[in-house]
DNA sequence: TAGATTGTTAATCGATTAACAATC
DNA sequence: TAGATTGTTAATCGATTAACAATC
């Protein structure tokens, strides 16, 4: 049974991948059903929260029994849109861009890696994992729709690159540039991976070991 | 004027690096003072929130005037402990580990890169940016205190590596392994960079463009 | 049927926003 | 001094947790 989804909070969305990961772990250990309270205990969460989270999208459990793990994995996968492959490109073939080509399992995360782009003449034509690095200006001429761009360019180029890509019709960005983009662009969807912010938070937590939450 | 810090919420801590980054940007543009309302407008935030956030740590502004940007940068830097260098090691010298050695400005984020470790005999002794890859077992014999470990090992090894490192006295982790650790360890500090979770969230947001926040 | 556990409503808790007195 | 803007208290909003009736 599925629900009309209106507006789901970021907190809920943020927990879905965590549930997904943990349920796969349980499945791999031969477990095929689980109750919200037992899942909560294992994940160090609250059972009410798990039920509330899932019920944003529909009723996927069975009273007196719990949740079927295979089914729940399918459901979350479908909510996160992991089976419908979207075209993604990597913009910026520096160390980070290249690492992502190798390390990210795009296929299983809802994406088809469509191409890798850069503007450095020295590396154009080189191949990474069977992806030939192409000139970024080629994006304009693509007939295929690109759904998402991964921004791996240096911070100084983040803004102008995004201007260019939005002109090419791309509205969704996985942003590794340490540059805040939502400030300058309306109507784009951005998921930030600000590694330096993350490390600063760790620095704070390390200092305030017993005073931070 | 500084305050007795009791317990600051993760939401507040999470915004500090963002303020820090933006204030440096303003400074680089020759601006030396700003009011909370003007900062809020530029950052698409709420002025009350900025004042509340800062006042968790003390009163750093001046009525009728606003905040001195240089001073505020210093204050936040000190709150985040960015000037007191802590020893950090990278564990796992695969593509990601190597990329972090090159791309992360540890020095300016509160850390001194102390060493890079792996257990792959083929790469031991190799040098990355003047860091020689050392055998992970050497960590046990270190006389120097290691404050933080960056976990860049394959997911399957995350748990056992963490067990080993905690035995060596390391309690703070920057975790890139896609393995939840807090579930298994008490009393450790972890900052997760779950790239696959991040991409799944983007997948969700892309699908639900107009229904997600 | 009885026991277990969901789905959902209600209560609580915390974070964000508004208001305003203090003060530079 | 008058105007501006902080620091801080109070009000609102949203997210988490508890409770329980519905039901498998």
Q: Average pLDDT for residues A48-64, to the nearest whole number?
A: 97
Of B17, B20, B183, the CB nearest to A44: B183
pLDDT of B126 > 70? The answer is yes
Mean pLDDT over all residues of chain B? 95
Q: What is the pLDDT of residues A112-162, one digit of tens each?
A: 999 999 999 999 999 999 999 999 999 999 988 999 999 999 999 999 999
Q: What is the pLDDT of residue B188?
A: 95
Cα gap B8→A46, rounded to integer Å: 22
Q: Which residue has the higher pLDDT, A50 or B143?
A: A50
- pLDDT confidence bin for B4, thresholds 50/70/90: low
Residue A34 has a pLDDT of: 98
Beta partners for A118?
A: A135
- Residue A162 makes CB contacts below 8 A (sequence gap 6+) with A151, A173, A181, A184, A185, A188
**Whether B209 and A195 lie within 8 Å, measured CB to CB:** no
Contact B30, B81 (CB under 8 A): no
Query: What does the pLDDT average to over B170-191?
Result: 94
- Please list every residue in chain A whose beta carbon sits closer than 8 Å to the beta carbon of residue B202: 148, 172, 174, 189, 191
Q: Specify the pLDDT at position A183.
A: 87
What is the SS3 assignment for B114?
A: strand
CA angle B10, A53, B203 (to 5 degrees): 80
- At residue A114, the pLDDT reads 97
A164-212: per-residue pLDDT in tens?
999 999 999 999 999 999 889 988 999 999 999 999 999 999 999 855 4
Residue A137's nearest CA partner among A121, A158, A114, A113 is: A121
How confident is the model over B29-68, as pLDDT tens digits?
999 999 999 999 999 999 999 999 999 999 999 999 999 9
The answer to whether A174 touches B204, Cβ cutoff 8 Å, is no
- What confidence tens digit (pLDDT) does each residue in B73-97 have? 999 999 999 999 999 999 999 999 9
Tokens of B54: 């800062």
What is the C-alpha separation between A65 and B200, in angstroms, rounded? 29
Give strand D nucleotides closer than 7 A to any protein Cβ.
2-9, 14-19, 22-24
Tell me: the pLDDT tens digits for B133-172?
A: 999 999 999 988 999 999 999 999 999 999 999 999 999 9
User: Which residues of chain A make contact with B7, given a CB cutoff of 8 A?
Assistant: 211-213
Q: How confident is the model at residue B2 (pLDDT cuts 50, 70, 90)?
A: low
At A149-158, the pLDDT tens digits run 999 999 999 9
At residue A106 the predicted structure's pLDDT band, cuts being 50, 70 and 90, is very high
pLDDT greater than 80 at residue A3: no
* pLDDT value of position B144: 86
| Residue B4 or residue B207, greater confidence | B207
Higher pLDDT, B198 or A183: B198
- How large is the average pLDDT for residues A85-108? 98
A10 and B200 in contact by Cβ < 8 A?
A: no
The alpha-carbon radius of gyration of chain A (Å, integer) is 20
Strand partners, B32: none
Enter the tokens of residue B208: 């639900």
pLDDT at A213 over 80: no
User: Is the Cβ pair A99, B104 closer than 8 Å?
Assistant: no
Contact criterion met (CB < 8 Å) for A5 and B213: no
Report the residue from B14, B20, B202 with minimal CB separation from A148: B202
- pLDDT for the residue numbered B186: 86
B100-110 residue pLDDT tens = 999 999 999 99
Which among A107, A104, A113, A118 is positioned nearest to B96, based on CA atoms?
A104
pLDDT at A99: 98
């Amino acid at each position: 049974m599925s629900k009309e989804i209106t507006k789901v909070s970021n907190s809920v969305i943020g927990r879905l991948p965590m549930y997904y990961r943990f349920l796969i772990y349980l499945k791999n250990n031969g477990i095929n059903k689980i109750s919200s309270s037992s899942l909560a205990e294992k994940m160090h969460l609250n059972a009410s929260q798990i039920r509330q989270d899932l019920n944003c999208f529909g009723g996927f459990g069975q009273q007196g029994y719990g949740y079927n793990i295979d089914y729940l994995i399918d459901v979350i996968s479908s909510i996160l849109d992991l089976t419908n492959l979207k075209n993604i490109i990597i913009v910026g073939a520096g160390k980070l861009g290249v690492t992502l080509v190798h390390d990210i399992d795009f296929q299983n995360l809802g994406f088809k890696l469509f191409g890798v782009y850069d503007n450095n003449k020295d590396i154009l034509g080189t191949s990474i994992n069977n992806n030939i690095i192409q000139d970024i200006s080629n994006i304009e001429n693509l007939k295929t729709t690109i759904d998402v761009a991964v921004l791996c360019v240096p911070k100084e180029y983040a803004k102008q690159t995004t201007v260019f890509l939005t002109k090419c019709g791309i509205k969704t960005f996985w942003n590794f540039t340490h540059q805040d983009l939502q400030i300058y662009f309306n109507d784009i969807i951005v998921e930030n991976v600000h590694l330096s912010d993350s490390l600063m938070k760790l620095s704070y937590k390390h200092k305030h070991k017993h005073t931070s939450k």
